[in-house]
Structure 1
Amino acid sequence: MELQVMILDDEYIILDGLCSFPWSDYGYRISATARNGLEGLEKLDQAKPDLILTDVKMPGMDGLDFAEKAHEIYPNAVIVILTGYDSFAYAQKAISIGVEEYLLKPVDYDELKAMAARIAGEIHAKKEKQQEIRDLKKYFNRSVPQLRSKFAGNLLYGRIQGKGVVKEQAESLNLTIEKYIVCVGRKVVGENKIHTGDKWIEEFACINIFEEIFNDFGIHVLSDYNTATAEYNFILLFEKEEENAVCMEKALQACSKIQVEVERYLKAHMNFGLSDVEVDEYQANAQYRKAQTACRQCVYLGTNIILRYEDLQYEKQTDFVITSGEKTHFMMTLFQDSFEKAEDELHQMFRNAPEDVSPVKFAAMDLLLGCMKFPYICAVDSEIHNKNWNLSVLQDGIKRICQCENTEEVLNCLLNLFGTLIKQNTEGTDERNRKLVQSVLSYIEKNYSGDLSMDDLTEKFHVSRTYISRLLKKYAGKSFLEYLTDVRFQQVEKLIADNKYKQYEIAEMVGYKDFGYYIKVFKKRYGITPNEFRKHI
């Protein structure tokens, strides 16, 4: 695509000379010329310039004033000032208004050619980057419905790590969660069951219909379908000014309307469970469990039931759950960060623990089990799989947690257990690292003749380039490239001594596809050419 260049100069000879420059050789086309800034402004929209060359001293409006206004209208256009005045004041103002080049007249032809080529490359690179960003935005906008559904599922199932992350993800999806009710629905299918192969079509259609009905009642909604439980999950969003009773009434009416439509068109029934009205988006997982409890209770009451959690009359058991997001974040902090930070996170997770210690104990046992599994699951080709991982910590831990009488005792017990886990996990770390380095070196020695790279090592050993580099420096005293070069040239020396092969054959045999690069490395290493080296053997 041709780049548009606009040229301004009040001297006809200079203007004509600049127009005679072979702009097309560098991918440009002159889209407009002007004799002063005012004329330039009139032609600016028509020109749509990528590059502007303008003189400074011109009648009516000078080049700097024009450049300032042009920059406001076309901020991506590259502006080059042409002037016979080598003035620091001009340069200062030019920089302040976004001018990127400052050339003195008469302009050196070679300098102009170099500038034109360089700026063309920069403009094309910038345009490609801008196009990539536009494509990403377009893709993102197309994906927003799916991303919102994914966000709703992660929020309901407690997969998001931390309240700040919830707000950040919601903002990126242009969502505001001020007040909400979680709604869980389950279809009770009659005799006319839908064909299994068409089930996903029905689910998709139902979600769209349900969303439309909720919208008809002035309720914005985030939707998720749980295939494992065959439940439709909704986060019903309300303005924070709406009274809780009004929010609940709208939800009840919308659910009732959905029941009518499902019975009319699908010959089926829908049961719904509704949570309390909540304002803290991070409590969505707790509210989801409430809605799910109410929905599942409907099974004992009949069909086409709408049950609020607050309607349940039995004595509710105290519930205390650590979400999967919180657990994952804690385990990563414990094993990959510091014990002190993990201790702070543990106290944060249990800060709202109920007085009843029983659910706290169950949550603690679940967390302990997850922490026991975490190092084992994360280990790849590691000694941890080959040694006897001490599972008695789990057995002893459960016994000790059961004996605790309050949350504080549970936390102290967990901290002692996690200290034991950390010690067990870090024992022999130095030995494991040494073995990993030995495996890496052995792999290099076996595969030096191929097109070997750090990416091959990361794929083989499942650790990052940075980590491998750090270990090689620490335990082998060399970088990957240094060690690979040593191995290759050990073979080079042997092959030269054999006197059977030409140098280009030797280069290819040890992994150098570029013969010129092989010669360069050889001379740098030995200070002489391969042929001179052969003479000294």
Structure 2
Amino acid sequence: MKILIADDEAPIRDWFAYVLTQKIPGLKAQVETAAGGLEALEKMEKDPPDVVFADIKMPGLDGIGHIEQAKERFPRTVFVILTNHAEFTFAQRAVGLGVYDYLLKSEITAEKVAQTLADIQKGFFTAAPQPAGAGEVERIEEPEGVDWPALARRLGADRPGRYRAVAVRGADRGAVLQRRLPDTPLTPVLWGDCWEALLPAGAAGFPGWEPPFAVGLSAPHAGVEGLQAALQEAVGSLNTAFLSGRPGLYRWGDCQEPPQLSGALHALRKRLSTEIAYGGVSAIRGDLSQFLTRCAQADPTRVDWVRKNCHRLLAQMEDRYLQELREIEPDARRVGKPVRSLEDFRAQMEEMLAAVEERQGERDVPAIDTAVRYIERHYGDSALSLTKLAGSVHLSPEYFCRLFKQKTGVSYGTYLTTYRLTRARELICTTDLKMAEVARQVGYENASYFSRLYKKHMGLSPEQERRAAPPAGQN
């Protein structure tokens, strides 16, 4: 296995070289090192590696830039990011580029490196299954460089009749598919990390078949001109397993993208940018649910779009989450994990929303106490509003209203009106102020409106209240 270590810190490069050549039994590795992204690209051009361990922060061309460029030129290379806790947003961006995994620099051990490489070998470099009597498996490194007519002849796609392409991820699953369909002629081909095959269209209906793994099935095609489309459709159909997170047969054309998908994404991103700090967790959950519903119906051609935006949303959520929970210890921060399915994305989002909600619960009681004291000091301000009061305790107006009623038993408006009229009654009964002045001092510029409101809530008009009041000095 050829491995490249790209890191600007010499001790990290030296440690990796030592571990990979001396500390992992059975690993036969050719190890190269590079002190930056540009040097790493130059070395990859000369001798493409199987695996790259890349530091996410490097001078010049950083790990993200390196991966963005390298992925296009070397699609079969597997990338692992080396990261620190504070670099989550960059790490999430790397996930969207197809990075296999992360290793935290503060937690790297020889055992973790060994396990990561073992997982990579199992998932990416296992020998492909070969049906009995078949020739050598065709490997497609880059679709742009394939001789499609020659490949069609080898696969039998140039013969009369229609065919479908079928795809599974992982060579071991391809072998299982071969065993489960012993009477169906399959011709395997490896494209990227998918094991694919062609088979007669009539045999590809699989009525009632529920495989224990994900399978992508293309639409029927015929002739040389249909081969590339068939293979691409099989991969696209297989990718829709990301949406459900479940095994099964995924057919090209089964899903149709709802027109509201982009709108649901925009609404959720806007909500995340404003609501976390102001207690709008329930509002975020509503928009998240709508986004997930739209995503679950996405067309196979948009699954990569869905996957990448899930990573971006997690990065945005993580930024807001860390701002809200900035008092937690650094080693308690959740570092982004690869998203394996839409359900995995939902679970990670919910994990952070629940943590924010718990933290806000600890903060909310004193916030309402503070708001009540604010009312007591500023009730005479005619411009006192819900927006101003909620802002004084850093909550959104919607969330503040719900929380205020939950904590006090009455709505914000009722509490403010009752408090103002109670203070007005004191002024009416203990002073000779004109009613217009009493109204002004408790926050009402319109004396007529104040009089009507007072009678409605107190049962007497202000004048009747004053006449009924006991003389000064009497209770």
Both structures adopt the same fold (TM-score exceeding 0.5): no
Report which of the two structures shows the higher radius of gyration computed on alpha carbons.
Answer: 1
* Bigger relative CO (Cα 8 Å, ≥ 6 apart): 2
TM-score, normalised relative to structure 1? 0.30
Higher helix share: 1
